[in-house]
Structure 1
Amino acid sequence: MTFTASRPGILPCQAIDTLIAAGAVTSDTPFDADQVQPASLDLRLSDRGWRVRASFLPGERTVETRIQDVVMHTIDLDGGAVLEKGCVYIVKLQERLSLPPGVVARANPKSSTGRVDVFVRLMTDRGATFDDVAEGYDGPLYLEIAPQTFSVLVRPGTRLNQLRLKAGEPPRLETRSVGVDLAFKNEGGIVGYRGRRHAGLIDLDKVAGHDPADFWEPLRAQRGELMLDPGEFYILASREAVEIPVDQAAEMTPIDPSVGEFRVHYAGFFDPGFGTDEAHGAGSRGVLEVRTHDTPFMLEHGQIVARLVYEPLTERPDRLYGEGGSHYQSQGLKLSKHFRA
């Protein structure tokens, strides 16, 4: 097919709908009504997966050919499958791409995935990198899944990541630094949460179905400081409110490791309208998913921990983030949608 955009940029929902109608994005099952987001497409697990002993990139081979070198056993997701923390899995996705000339794609975990410390990366046949899909790619999609803190329950249709499609080479409009809030602004002086190491199972399709006390330890900073322990997972909030203009989207990227031995934010996409007046949600904070490296690190209030990179859309989307309701619009410090408020 031939696809023409009005200008270089990220494709909005109506352009994604056009690609679906033209067969550039197909699926094993009918698309869900809410699967296309303002500037991204949610991807869904199929019923077919593998437990593998190591992560990998396929190189010059297909994903399923390369899997045979590291497979431990196959997994049937029908009826639900438990993915154990500390293990690595590959699951085929229901969606398939046949990208037209001039269009590329990039994937990222959904916010709810990152907030329960499930590390996911998109894979393509003969792919040289994770999460990036080259122009002209025609083939299936796979997801590497590596739960870090909690074991999780998934099934066919579970959505763990999302795909952003781009036309041409959109310019970076702005790069904004993001600091962390450790200043006792939340009720009870809670500035964050630390994942409990020996918690139970999280059903990733169950909204508000888990008691947060069973999975999270509330944290109170001392003098605007918080000690991060190696190997622990933290949920914190940005000091600044995040607002994404209606004709732009943004990606949160980890800060240069030279300023701190930690990684911030697994789930990096912010859709147009996030935190804006027009979407009735001014002042949304960015939630920070933080994991330290090999040494303890003292985090201070206001310390820069990540950057927001803004890019234009090819055109204004027909709908904005938060229209019709969202678990994360107008958020402050907030756990994932799986937990009761």
Structure 2
Amino acid sequence: MPTQASSIKSADQRSEPVAGAVEFGSQFGLLPRQKIEVMVRRGMIMSPELDNGQIQPASLDLRLGPKAYRIRASFLPGKDRTVEGQLANLNSEEISLEGHGAVLERGCVYVIPLLESLKLPESISAIANPKSSTGRLDIFTRLITDRSEVFDRAARAYEGPLYAEVSPRSFSIRVRRGTRLNQIRFRRLNSQQLERNDFSLDEKELRERHEALPLVDGPLNLRNGLVLRVALSREPLGPIIGYRAQKHADILDVDRVGAYAVSDYWEPILAREDQRLILDPGEFYILASHEKLHIPPDLAAEMVPIDPAMGEFRVHYAGFFDPGFGHTVSNLPGARAVLEVRSREVPFILENGQVVGRLVYEKMAEAPLSVYGQLEGAHYQGQGLKLSKHFQEC
């Protein structure tokens, strides 16, 4: 298996003792690639030797372990229980992911121990979300930790294993040991931030940033973050303005890149004269933002769920944007946000330019040495309307 070029070793291979704290400098915020590498060397992140490209500019890809458990329903362990103990109580069915792996069936729920585990200090917490490709395949994926009452969070000083809850919603998928479905970010906190939940830049800072280096290719529309609108017209996307997942498709191997014909899994959505799209309940859509974006190298961004009062649909399961996303030589915003959209209980009419979400920005502790687009696996730099990397280019 390929390894990191920087020759990072797992906790059981290194010769230096595990430190109770690490010198990260005086900056606080999301930790960049070079600090995540420090965490691996110091035993804060424990794992078999890492795969090539596993550490991203501001996150770490997490890998599935050698077995999965099929369960009846999603769960959280609660503050006094472990995930392993809950799995034993649920009479879960064990499935091997070794070798050629196994098929995770659409509509079923699985819990999978991950190869990585954590031993965090008091000053560092972690946040997880699905990878971009995972979200575009409609694979509902969340992180679970022991003694937790929330998904996708590892609390300060958390020490223990990590698990992924995986539920394919549109396609049955094949996965195996080492498959990467979600990623984790690490936030270093100062003493005044230990109980905070909101770390986003305020509107004043965003306006100043936009004046110095445009964050979007049009007017800056702010509402507790950068407002994004959906594009449903020929201008700027062309005749195809989206895709709808087919209900009955073949199994899709998530580790095969560029292997599948779009027409076997997706129905194209053509632009209409009225520039509208009716979302059908339970259907899954890939759409694109009207705006082109740019994430400065010292910031990261996340698309947050839309306010329920704004519409009966959900946008973006995998909402993390790395530093450098959308960068162009001209320093103008160069990539659209791909929107993973699912309607809820009733049909809902989307109109061209309708607000569908907002992007919140957060400071990095320091700029990563390599930004998005400079590392292996940056499949979505400069993207417009784009399906996941698994599909052949049209």
- For the criterion TM > 0.5, the same-fold answer is yes
Q: How far apart, in 2, do the equivalents of 1:109 and 1:147 lie?
A: 12
What number of residue pairs does the alignment pair up?
Answer: 340
Match of 2:308 among 257, 273, 281: 257
Partner of 1:334: 386
Please state if 1:273 is matched with 2:317.
Answer: no
Per-residue deviation, 1:69: 2.5
Q: Which amino acid aligns with 1:240?
A: E
- Cα distance change on mapping 1:148 and 1:75 into 2, 3 Å: same
Partner of 1:51: 70
Identical amino acids, percent of aligned pairs: 53
Q: How far apart, in 2, do the equivalents of 1:127 and 1:57 lie?
A: 7
Alpha-carbon contact 1:274-1:321 (below 8 Å) kept = yes
Residues 183-207 of structure 1, C-alpha deviations (whole Å, 9 max, x = no match): 1136751100000000111100000
**Structure-1-length-normalised TM-score:** 0.97
Please state if 1:132 is matched with 2:153.
Answer: yes
Q: Which amino acid aligns with 1:53?
A: R
Partner of 1:71: 91
Q: How far apart, in 1, do the equivalents of 2:127 and 2:112 lie?
A: 18
Q: How far apart, in 2, do the equivalents of 1:46 and 1:237 lie?
A: 33
Alpha-carbon contact 1:211-1:339 (below 8 Å) kept = yes
Structure 2 residue ranges without an equivalent (≥5): 1-19, 203-224
Per-residue deviation, 1:71: 3.4
Per-residue deviation, 1:107: 0.2
* Structure with higher strand content: 1
- Cα distance change on mapping 1:33 and 1:281 into 2, 3 Å: farther
Q: How far apart, in 1, do the equivalents of 2:65 and 2:92 lie?
A: 19
- Cα distance change on mapping 1:199 and 1:110 into 2, 3 Å: same
- Cα distance change on mapping 1:71 and 1:180 into 2, 3 Å: farther
Please state if 1:37 is matched with 2:44.
Answer: no
Please state if 1:185 is matched with 2:235.
Answer: yes
Partner of 1:62: 82
Q: How far apart, in 2, do the equivalents of 1:110 and 1:141 lie?
A: 16
Partner of 1:122: 143
Q: How far apart, in 2, do the equivalents of 1:155 and 1:319 lie?
A: 29
Q: Which amino acid aligns with 1:330?
A: G
SS at match of 2:184: strand
Per-residue deviation, 1:277: 2.6
- Cα distance change on mapping 1:38 and 1:324 into 2, 3 Å: closer
Per-residue deviation, 1:241: 0.6
Residues 279-298 of structure 1, C-alpha deviations (whole Å, 9 max, x = no match): 98941000000001010000
CA RMSD across the alignment: 1.5
Per-residue deviation, 1:112: 0.2
Partner of 1:7: 27
- Cα distance change on mapping 1:209 and 1:167 into 2, 3 Å: same
Q: Which amino acid aligns with 1:41?
A: L
**Structure 1 range deviating more: 61-70 or 286-295:** 61-70
Per-residue deviation, 1:7: 2.0
SS at match of 1:113: helix
Residues 116-137 of structure 1, C-alpha deviations (whole Å, 9 max, x = no match): 0000000001111000100000
Partner of 1:103: 124
Partner of 1:239: 290
Deviating beyond 6 angstroms after TM superposition, the runs of 4 or more aligned structure 1 residues are none
Q: Which amino acid aligns with 1:302?
A: G
Indicate the structure (1 or 2) with the bigger Cα radius of gyration: 2
Q: How far apart, in 2, do the equivalents of 1:225 and 1:258 lie?
A: 20
**Structure-2-length-normalised TM-score:** 0.84
Q: Which amino acid aligns with 1:20?
A: V
Alpha-carbon contact 1:281-1:330 (below 8 Å) kept = no
Per-residue deviation, 1:278: 5.7
Q: Which amino acid aligns with 1:52?
A: I
Q: How far apart, in 2, do the equivalents of 1:238 and 1:188 lie?
A: 13
Q: How far apart, in 1, do the equivalents of 2:299 and 2:92 lie?
A: 43
Alpha-carbon contact 1:281-1:329 (below 8 Å) kept = no
Alpha-carbon contact 2:128-2:153 (below 8 Å) kept = yes
Partner of 2:5: none
Alpha-carbon contact 2:119-2:157 (below 8 Å) kept = yes
Q: Which protein has greater RCO, CA pairs closer than 8 Å, 6+ apart?
A: 1
Alpha-carbon contact 2:56-2:375 (below 8 Å) kept = no
